[in-house]
Structure 1
């Protein structure tokens, strides 16, 4: 159902009807808006809120309660709290009374971090701001927010001083935050949209006083409260939201999930963790060697250059051959230009240089941010973040960074540039809605810690290449559907090739992205003195990513394309310390994450906790009671044996290279000693290729039976065991766990999933990744499972626990008892026999 009027017009119409007590027209208007197709989540929330207020005014409490219950599942804690309060008020059928002496449960944005967090307030000035009592009807969300004056009791805002010592060139000095005057705040409020663009539906007023004029601006003045947060489970403070602007078409179609993220955080998630404590004055953690980081940088850059040059030359060879083919069959003269015959070295060097220099402007064209967040607006979200950024920029003689806001419910933060003066920090509305002020400050300091390092410059350019490849892939995959078969296959082929290029470039940058992360965690901790804030921020971002994937059924394109530049990886969520135990304690955790862009989140949280223990801080996430029985976090002899077995073909390749190197060395010595019996080992170069291939294939063959044991009908476990397996820190992918579970098959659209990039099984507990292959390997995914999308299935396979969780499918069965048998062992055998045969052929051939 479409709309013949704009959503804003309908909101104004509904408000006018509500003012005139024309409840039937108000209900009809808000219902039309809430049920219309193509309406943004923002306007749909406003319509639902309008219905609740209308039903309440009409006395239809049952209908209002029903709508309130649907808001209890919102991803925003502030919205859930408002709905809970409103529902409680409706159930008791009592008017919302203002209580001048009540104390708000949640800390408000006050220009300083609450004392309960361990951070001494910023300055000692004591301004007094006239405020009105709180109202139960006040609400806060990305799009629905109260004027702060109605949510804060009448009290004085007291600020004290904080002395901060920064070992990175920030001298010890006192942070002073000047309180905002009432006039400044009023000026800031004018033009900013509230939850409804108007305050009428956010406050409890006499309906006769409501003015629904188009040019109305809020008359109330936003203020800030200084009540400390008492418990970790208190309600989040309402945060003033930057003005929402219309989301670009690309953002709507690609960046945001197809449905609003409505799943509520788990009851034991990061929102309920204790705040922990923090330093009163910043300290250094000491110096640490950066040799590993520099090695990763100086190896990644030439490898990236060689791969890009090879890709360009390969593409030009195919284009040249096609043009020569046309020249032979067509009567016109088509000869490739000399450009197609060069080695393209300078072409790649100049192109990458220009791409990196133009990155700040090209990123802006790709992302199309809705607006820039000023220093004053940042203070509304996190006074600590604004103060630390200002201080850092002053001491390093940088200008205050440009902060771009993208209108997306995904929790995203990253940065790009090649110098701080042109650097850009990008945040999403979803990130601002999720994090508390100290968490937002910690994650911003983490991102700023990249500036102006070499890896930051490298990823600014590489990120653009990845964005280009991924957007071409997604555009062709989405727009090639429902077209004639020839266009479909052409679009699918080009999309698959583009994704292969994206995957290859991303894997090249994975090692550097993973290695730099611990260094940045350390710097961010020193800049804030709050490792617990960073712990909670990382956990919440991980949880947000997992919720987005579960809601959409596959990884949102924006998250996948930015994986190398995001603070956390995908699918690493946990609600308790036990679920992070694998990443914290498994001895093989780093080896099993070698192809990932981020280290295990559990390992990062454990290290941040160690910083806190070094400073004698109370932790938000305590690993103290978790240990591996008779095992350490480092590798033992048994762990090395498991690693070699897990490596399979890679272990065999390393052994083969060693054997071939020894044989070649023996041949070289024999040649120098004029010993003809063995000098052929030096002259026959086929050994250097054939032996590694044979050993790699042998290692892969030896791993097949342990990796894919026979599954009996009575052996597989049910879904109830998945949670306990997730918490088991001893498991590795080789520790197979046969399992049979039921759920709904989800995955990427057909043309975007030709290589089986992402199949998932959605269950009530989680959305676990599936690996499926048949005799044709990855190409077997072109049409095999696509007809079963969104169907209820029973999956039998092998549960794997590595950096991520997944299930290797053995067989699938739908409700019509149709069965598909996967062929993982057979494909693994075929892929092993091919290099084995080729290696033997090279050795017998000689050379």
Structure 2
């Protein structure tokens, strides 16, 4: 394909994406007549049909569709038939003026890498898969997740791997042309939570430091010829407080240095304008209103769409986006994401979150580096590296956990401000969903969760774990159905208590309310769904009580301890029984708490791990419906038998089984695995076809507790979740009884 034709095709598709239909027609019409039936010509024809339809030239769009029906490529032929049906119906109803057909939009964003850009030009979207949900004609515009580039020989040339398509329908709901400012939000909860996060981070760090100092001195005491260090016996409270305040002051520059190892670099305004002109206007207007200098713009060379903001003042703020976000989102969608980052600066929550990232990122880098060393050593030395990397990972999770509540709450505030700045809550809705789709696509392509996604997750607008199911099932189910659980389940917020991000459906519901407040159509119709029936609510309430039985056992154990103390005190006062030596110690309370937790575990056991009936019938097709059921919670323990590819990290970095994912024919789902001693390593089967039998659990992040995993070669791996749960319950019972009796 000549270079001038390539540039003309790219210019035409870019104009189509931006809504400049006359410009797109001017660039694409010459290609249709000059390129024959090659890949470029077919892409030009598809784009030209969409441009004609969107500009009101229905007759020309129909004529071109009729020619595409005779294409030798079956995908193009099917696509043209569907498009022609929509076009003719709209024309017959005399609504061609507002025609919005279900056509293909292309990924035409320009890459800084010339080879990547050339590859992007050869990409083509395909028709809706047979499992895609039918959509009323004229109500949606269809886009697709981009897949590996098609070779120049055709759409599916010889030796080309099969493309996996998902038809994604977008309403392309409009923005508000004139809108009133929203009511000023109450920032007091956010400010209090930010202060609480700082205190929690300080307390956790202090206890970790005191433990390490005590362990070092204990080791030195036990070793011969060595003396403990007196410095390590001092209280680190004041020193740690000073260090944290210093870190807050220097956080922008330290994070610049740390993220340089991720490939972070400056993002020029010209490059940003090539992807989104609106973003520059939004940044300039809002900063001018606030009398701020422009935030420094950065970019990460990461294919997954993501963004984060860090700094300590508006003038030191940095807004970082990934290359994937610029390439996979449209102009107005990118603008809303940047506006959301301005919200974090305006609300000042980015100061504490920057400190959290600055503290956790080095710990994650240590985990990654030690894992890398462990993979290079022999089996004998790998054990200590595995233990050390697991400790670093656990500490990273623990420190990250201090910011969970703030990480969730701040996104509600930033979404609201982003909608208010741009007047476009619908674009933000599309942006959040496209980020989830892009993250799921990145995990599928890499066949594991990248360390960039995991380590930076706390500051991103959409969590990588919540993206797995939502982003991968999007082509098999409407968004309204997928998000039903997020909107209707009465215990959804309790089940998201350990999540880093709020539920996507809950966020989009609020954006839809803003759109309705401004009297504009919504991207998703979530408000019309019916609430759960009273019978379903009652069943779900009983299930939730059973779900939380181990945790409810803790306060019940405390009440039991109080009752025991009262009985002992009464017996002592009546000179009937003298057990004062026990109840004055108060350690017996801990024993009661452990006993209560153990009893709750036993009560929940049978419902949490019901017997699985042997079956060979795969249940892959049930996964979308399981995700869409709004009344299920993890305790429901739905039996599944899924076939797919095992994804996950290899080596020491996955020693805790933290990254195992099943890629089935209908989506991605997280796997929970507990290994048995002497069993084959589950990592040996990564990238291979497997059959998983286990219990599907619908929570804020859906997952499967594995019972058995079978390979095509006949090897079977058992994951003894019920046994280990029983061991935990018995151990807690025995320990509690010992403390209770011995004090």
| TM norm structure 2 | 0.76
* Structure 2 residue 505 is the aligned partner of structure 1 residue 602: yes
User: Aligned partners of 1:581, 1:423: CA distance in 2, in Å?
Assistant: 37
Alignment match of 2:645 (pick from 729, 734, 744): 744
User: Aligned partners of 2:563, 2:311: CA distance in 1, in Å?
Assistant: 47
- C-alpha change, 1:340 and 1:815, in structure 2 (3 Å) is same
Quote the residue 2:341 is aligned against. Answer: 447
Quote the residue 2:692 is aligned against. Answer: 795
- C-alpha change, 1:438 and 1:710, in structure 2 (3 Å) is same
Quote the residue 1:423 is aligned against. Answer: 317
Alignment match of 1:813 (pick from 710, 713, 720): 710
Quote the residue 2:37 is aligned against. Answer: 92
Quote the residue 1:275 is aligned against. Answer: 172
User: Aligned partners of 1:96, 1:630: CA distance in 2, in Å?
Assistant: 54
Contact 2:179 2:518 in 1 (8 A): no
What is the aligned length? 629
Contact 2:647 2:660 in 1 (8 A): yes
User: Aligned partners of 1:533, 1:93: CA distance in 2, in Å?
Assistant: 35
Quote the residue 1:477 is aligned against. Answer: 371
Deviations 1:456-505, CA, capped at 9 Å, x for gaps: 11110111222111111112212321422343223222211110111111
SS of the residue aligned with 2:696? strand
Q: Displacement of 1:798 after TM fit? A: 0.9
* Structure 2 residue 418 is the aligned partner of structure 1 residue 521: no
User: Aligned partners of 2:188, 2:257: CA distance in 1, in Å?
Assistant: 36
* Structure 2 residue 484 is the aligned partner of structure 1 residue 581: yes
- C-alpha change, 1:91 and 1:586, in structure 2 (3 Å) is farther
- C-alpha change, 1:317 and 1:283, in structure 2 (3 Å) is same
Q: Displacement of 1:614 after TM fit? A: 2.1
User: Aligned partners of 1:390, 1:307: CA distance in 2, in Å?
Assistant: 40
Contact 1:284 1:526 in 2 (8 A): yes
Quote the residue 1:487 is aligned against. Answer: 381
Contact 1:553 1:767 in 2 (8 A): no
Contact 2:197 2:352 in 1 (8 A): no
Alignment match of 1:435 (pick from 329, 333, 337): 329
Contact 1:412 1:566 in 2 (8 A): yes
- C-alpha change, 1:105 and 1:659, in structure 2 (3 Å) is same
Q: Displacement of 1:399 after TM fit? A: 0.2
- C-alpha change, 1:454 and 1:650, in structure 2 (3 Å) is farther
User: Aligned partners of 1:475, 1:85: CA distance in 2, in Å?
Assistant: 54
User: Aligned partners of 1:95, 1:476: CA distance in 2, in Å?
Assistant: 48
- Structure 2 unaligned residues grouped into runs of 5+: 57-110, 123-137, 145-160
Deviations 1:43-67, CA, capped at 9 Å, x for gaps: xxxxxxxxx559x99xxxxxxxxxx
Quote the residue 2:453 is aligned against. Answer: 559
- C-alpha change, 1:835 and 1:336, in structure 2 (3 Å) is same
Alignment match of 2:141 (pick from 221, 233, 237): 233
Q: Displacement of 1:96 after TM fit? A: 7.3
Alignment match of 1:593 (pick from 496, 500, 516): 496
Deviations 1:651-671, CA, capped at 9 Å, x for gaps: 211332344456667888x79
* Structure 2 residue 529 is the aligned partner of structure 1 residue 626: yes
Quote the residue 1:6 is aligned against. Answer: none
Deviations 1:233-281, CA, capped at 9 Å, x for gaps: 3789xxxxxxxxxxxxxxxxxxxxxxxx99766212xxx3112122223
Contact 2:540 2:631 in 1 (8 A): no
- C-alpha change, 1:86 and 1:480, in structure 2 (3 Å) is farther
Q: Displacement of 1:356 after TM fit? A: 2.0
* Structure 2 residue 252 is the aligned partner of structure 1 residue 360: yes
Contact 1:585 1:603 in 2 (8 A): no
- C-alpha change, 1:718 and 1:235, in structure 2 (3 Å) is closer
Deviations 1:624-681, CA, capped at 9 Å, x for gaps: 442234259xx9665443222111311211332344456667888x79x967679959
User: Aligned partners of 1:450, 1:817: CA distance in 2, in Å?
Assistant: 52
Q: Displacement of 1:378 after TM fit? A: 3.1
User: Aligned partners of 1:501, 1:77: CA distance in 2, in Å?
Assistant: 46
Deviations 1:506-548, CA, capped at 9 Å, x for gaps: 1221122112221222222222221111100000111111111
Q: Displacement of 1:83 after TM fit? A: 13
Contact 1:716 1:738 in 2 (8 A): no
SS of the residue aligned with 1:590? helix
SS of the residue aligned with 2:395? helix
Q: Equivalent residues in 2 for 1:341-360 (5 A)?
A: 341-360=233-252
Deviations 1:340-373, CA, capped at 9 Å, x for gaps: 2112112321222222222111111122255423
Q: Displacement of 1:613 after TM fit? A: 1.7
- C-alpha change, 1:664 and 1:198, in structure 2 (3 Å) is closer
Quote the residue 1:412 is aligned against. Answer: 306
Query: Whose helix fraction is larger, Structure 1's or Structure 2's?
Result: 2
- C-alpha change, 1:841 and 1:432, in structure 2 (3 Å) is same
- C-alpha change, 1:691 and 1:262, in structure 2 (3 Å) is farther
User: Aligned partners of 2:414, 2:316: CA distance in 1, in Å?
Assistant: 21
Q: Equivalent residues in 2 for 1:119-518 (5 A)?
A: 195=114, 233=141, 266-268=166-168, 272-328=169-225, 334-368=226-260, 369=263, 371-518=265-412
SS of the residue aligned with 2:350? helix
User: Aligned partners of 2:239, 2:409: CA distance in 1, in Å?
Assistant: 30
User: Aligned partners of 1:440, 1:266: CA distance in 2, in Å?
Assistant: 22
- C-alpha change, 1:86 and 1:558, in structure 2 (3 Å) is farther
Q: Displacement of 1:327 after TM fit? A: 4.3
- C-alpha change, 1:93 and 1:719, in structure 2 (3 Å) is closer
User: Aligned partners of 1:202, 1:802: CA distance in 2, in Å?
Assistant: 40
| TM norm structure 1 | 0.67
User: Aligned partners of 2:565, 2:676: CA distance in 1, in Å?
Assistant: 38
Q: Displacement of 1:429 after TM fit? A: 1.1
User: Aligned partners of 1:657, 1:557: CA distance in 2, in Å?
Assistant: 41
* Structure 2 residue 741 is the aligned partner of structure 1 residue 844: yes
Contact 2:672 2:703 in 1 (8 A): yes
User: Aligned partners of 2:199, 2:355: CA distance in 1, in Å?
Assistant: 14
- Structure 1 unaligned residues grouped into runs of 5+: 1-51, 58-67, 108-113, 117-191, 204-229, 237-260, 329-333
User: Aligned partners of 2:164, 2:688: CA distance in 1, in Å?
Assistant: 24
Deviates more, 1:690-699 or 1:635-644: 635-644
